[in-house]
């Protein structure tokens, strides 16, 4: 097939990566179809690294503000005024542009105009093709018409856009280029490149063993040329909305072009780098200096293979008895820090905060801003505002208080039902919420026993998943039983909601008021203890479980001497 070329003169001089961004596979056409004309290069202005580092010094001292890794270079590079078009005999065509910034560790860009027609594709790759992003296509289109790519390692990146014949014309315009003067991926330590301090602890070290669920909430946040940390959080509706918390003082640029990099961590305790999985785009929900919070909702659906987790939270005003942070200091791989003593209330920069008086393990640094602090129950209680702590001075870090933020607009989104509840437990993003089904049997006191739950079923979490049943007749023996298939058959004047085979848990007494009979009885069980106890090998992540309550009722209207609740169905998470 013959190719014909059209080069724009504006600003022209002379394998699939593990760092995945949501894309749809394949490889650039030019990799298998060499072209006779190279992509023309747009050379970025010189970056004065020493001057930028000097400017950063004060912000880094207090950790206030995003951690800058690249200057913002405004451009207007579009399909119409730059690059080279290649036309093929069948009517298809390709556009390519190479952007170079000598000495840069990586380059990322923002598109202020982005629309891909059906069948079109965009790839972004570095000179040695060790990093390839794409394909991006019409599935990446958003109504706001903007897009961003994560930093790609190298001094130069090439954009390759392919448009089939008879397709509508696509729209691509790069508005900002960010050449990194800091090494975001730990691939070199010269110049401005720098890993975090030596006292920082990888999240997969023994200290992080009990935080393997909530660590999957955390992400490194790329906002143009700045970095912060943050975390996914759940809400009381338990509806799986992709809410992401960071700090108000991190807010910058347009959330539609923020890049969220999940799972950037070493696989072991001593590793120095790792792969990551990224998504681009969010919408602002609320932010306030009162608690230094910023809540956004991630726009694209986070892929299931990211294994993301929604952190639970506590709005209690009681001082946490310990605090654990998970963060990306100086943009480094995911780290963990911990203060084993009680947090105290304090004011920092006019904001009500939780005060870490001294870290016992690890520390925070610039780039950690916005990262979560968890209490003794692994519940989110705040996000890093700032402080003085370093590896050589382990004192005085401050986290905006979640309880204050809930009263400053956050509750609209994280307690949408207005329950006022003080705590929520975390859950898997892709774990269907537990739900009640079937119909309970009216007992001899004219009550319908009601099954309920708090928490999330998990094969590893230390938090409870409590199943309870209320409105049972007092002081009678009862139990929970479970199985693997739902049912709705008539049984003893009520409904048997679980198909055999079923398994019984231990007999309990319903308790409640002293005689005579009333409906004050109740039963409860921590089903996570059952899952993790090892007695049933079928209780594994992904298993669907059905639970119902049975108890004695000597005065049963139907003569069977039993009472039956409705039933609960749920899926076991990791």
Tokens matching residue 422: 């003080």
Buried/exposed 527-557: b ≥16 CB within 10 Å, e otherwise: bbebbeeeeeeebeeeeebbbbbbbbbeebe
- Residues 401 and 488 occupy one common structural domain: no
For residue 100, is it within any domain? yes
148: left (phi over 0), alpha (psi -120 to 50) or beta: beta
According to the model, what pLDDT value does residue 185 have?
86
**Size (the chain), residues:** 574
Q: Are residues 443 and 534 in the same domain?
A: yes
169 and 255 in a single domain? The answer is no
Q: What is the pLDDT of residue 18?
A: 52
Considering the domain architecture, whether residues 175 and 267 belong to the same structural domain is answered as no
Residue 213 sits in the same domain as residue 320: yes
* pTM of the predicted structure, to 2 decimals: 0.80
* Eight-class DSSP state of 75: E
Domain end (from 363, 396, 427):
427
Q: Within this chain, do residues 280 and 385 fall inside the same structural domain, yes or no?
A: yes
Shared domain check, 286 and 403: yes
Phi, psi of 94 (to 5 degrees): -135, 140
Residue 281, domain CATH: 2.40.10.10
Q: Which two tokens stand for residue 66?
A: 């995003």
Residues 468 and 388 in one domain: no
The burial of 36, by beta-carbon neighbours within 10 Å (0-12 exposed, 13-18 middle, 19 or more buried), is given as exposed
Residue pair 197/365 in contact by the 8 Å Cβ criterion = yes
Burial of 123: CB neighbours in 10 Å, binned 0-12, 13-18, 19+ = buried
Indicate whether 171 belongs to any domain: yes
Q: What is the pLDDT of residue 36?
A: 83
Domain boundary (406, 427, 448) is at 427
Asked if 51 and 75 sit in the same domain, the reply is yes
Q: CA Rg, the chain, in Å?
A: 28
> Can you give the CATH number for the domain in which 528 is found?
2.60.40.10
Helix, strand, coil shares of the chain, percent, nearest 5, are 10, 40, 50
Would residue 10 count as lying in a domain?
yes
- DSSP character at residue 266: -
Same domain, 298 and 422: yes
Residue 72 lies inside a defined structural domain of this protein: yes
Report pLDDT for 43: 98
Query: Is residue 156 included in any domain, yes or no?
Result: yes
State the Cα angle at 567 between 562 and 570, rounded to 5°.
150
Let me know if residue 356 belongs to a domain.
yes
Q: Which residues are catalytic?
A: 249, 292, 369
Report the alpha-carbon angle 547-492-557, nearest 5: 120
Whether omega before 516 lies within 30 degrees of 0, making that bond cis, reads yes
Q: Which of 375, 408, 427 lies at the terminal end of a domain, its last residue?
A: 427
What span, in angstroms and rounded, lies between the C-alpha atoms of 80 and 83?
A: 8
Whether residues 422 and 458 fall in one domain: no
pLDDT value of residue 6 = 45
Contacts of residue 169, Cβ cutoff 8 Å, sequence gap at least 6: 79, 117, 163
Domain count of the chain?
Answer: 3
Does residue 185 form part of some domain? no
Residues of the chain with pLDDT under 70: 1-20, 59, 187-194
CB 570 within 8 A of CB 454: no
Residue 535 lies in a domain: yes
Containing structural domain, residue 69: 3-179
pLDDT score of 145: 97
Any residues with CB less than 8 A from the CB of 106 and at least 6 apart, and which? Answer: 70, 151, 152, 153, 154, 179, 180, 183, 184, 185
Question: Do residues 277 and 323 share a domain?
Answer: yes
β-sheet bridge partners, residue 478: 508, 551
Q: Encoding tokens for residue 477?
A: 């023996």
């Amino acid at each position: 097939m013959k190719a014909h070329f059209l080069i724009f003169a504006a600003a022209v001089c002379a394998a699939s990566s593990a760092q995945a961004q949501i894309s749809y596979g394949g490889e650039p056409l030019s990799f298998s179809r060499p072209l006779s004309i190279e992509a023309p290069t747009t050379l970025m202005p010189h970056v004065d690294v020493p001057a930028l580092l000097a400017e950063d010094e004060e912000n880094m001292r207090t950790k206030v503000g995003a951690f800058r890794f690249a200057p913002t270079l405004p451009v207007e590079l579009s399909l119409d005024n730059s690059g080279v078009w290649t036309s093929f005999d069948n009517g298809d065509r390709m556009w390519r542009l190479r952007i170079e910034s000598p000495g840069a560790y990586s380059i990322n860009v923002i598109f202020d105009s982005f629309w891909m027609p059906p069948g079109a594709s965009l790839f972004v790759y570095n000179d040695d093709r060790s990093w390839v992003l794409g394909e991006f296509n019409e599935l990446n289109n958003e109504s706001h018409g903007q897009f961003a790519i994560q930093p790609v390692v190298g001094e130069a990146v090439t954009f390759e856009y392919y448009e089939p014949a008879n397709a509508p014309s696509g729209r691509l315009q790069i508005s900002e280029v960010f050449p990194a003067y800091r090494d975001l991926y730990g691939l070199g330590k010269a110049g401005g490149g720098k890993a975090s301090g030596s006292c920082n602890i990888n999240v997969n070290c023994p200290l992080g063993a009990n935080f393997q669920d909530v660590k999957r909430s955390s992400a490194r946040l790329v906002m143009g040329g700045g970095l912060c940390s943050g975390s996914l959080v759940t809400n009381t509706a338990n509806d799986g909305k992709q809410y992401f918390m960071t700090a108000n003082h991190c807010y910058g640029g347009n959330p539609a072009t923020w890049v969220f990099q999940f799972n950037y961590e070493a696989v072991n305790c001593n590793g120095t780098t790792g792969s990551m999985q990224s998504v681009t785009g969010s919408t602002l929900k609320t932010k306030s200096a009162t608690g230094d919070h910023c809540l956004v909702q991630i726009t694209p659906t986070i892929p299931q293979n990211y294994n993301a987790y929604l952190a639970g939270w506590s709005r209690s005003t009681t001082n946490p008895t310990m605090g654990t942070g998970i963060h990306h200091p100086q943009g480094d791989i995911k780290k963990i820090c911990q203060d084993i003593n009680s947090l105290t209330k304090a004011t920092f920069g006019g904001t009500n905060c939780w005060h870490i008086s001294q870290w016992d393990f690890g520390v925070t640094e610039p780039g950690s801003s916005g990262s979560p602090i968890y209490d003794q129950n692994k519940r989110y209680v705040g996000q890093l505002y700032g402080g003085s702590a370093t590896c050589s001075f382990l004192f005085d870090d401050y986290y905006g208080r979640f309880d204050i933020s809930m009263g400053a607009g956050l509750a609209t989104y994280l307690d949408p039902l207005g329950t006022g509840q003080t705590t929520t437990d975390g859950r898997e993003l892709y774990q269907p919420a537990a739900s009640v089904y079937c119909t309970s049997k009216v007992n001899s006191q004219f009550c319908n026993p009601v099954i309920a739950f708090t928490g999330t079923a998990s094969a590893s979490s230390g938090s409870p998943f409590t199943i309870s049943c209320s409105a049972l007749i007092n002081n009678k023996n009862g139990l929970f039983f479970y199985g693997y298939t739902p049912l709705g058959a008539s049984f003893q004047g009520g409904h048997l909601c679980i198909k055999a085979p079923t398994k019984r848990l231990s007999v309990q007494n319903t308790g409640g008021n002293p005689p005579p009979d009333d409906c004050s009885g109740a039963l409860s069980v921590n089903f996570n203890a059952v899952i993790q106890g090892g007695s049933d090998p079928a209780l594994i992540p992904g298993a669907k479980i059905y639970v119902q309550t049975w108890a004695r009722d000597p005065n049963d209207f139907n003569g069977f001497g039993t009472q039956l609740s409705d039933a609960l169905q749920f899926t076991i998470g990791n």
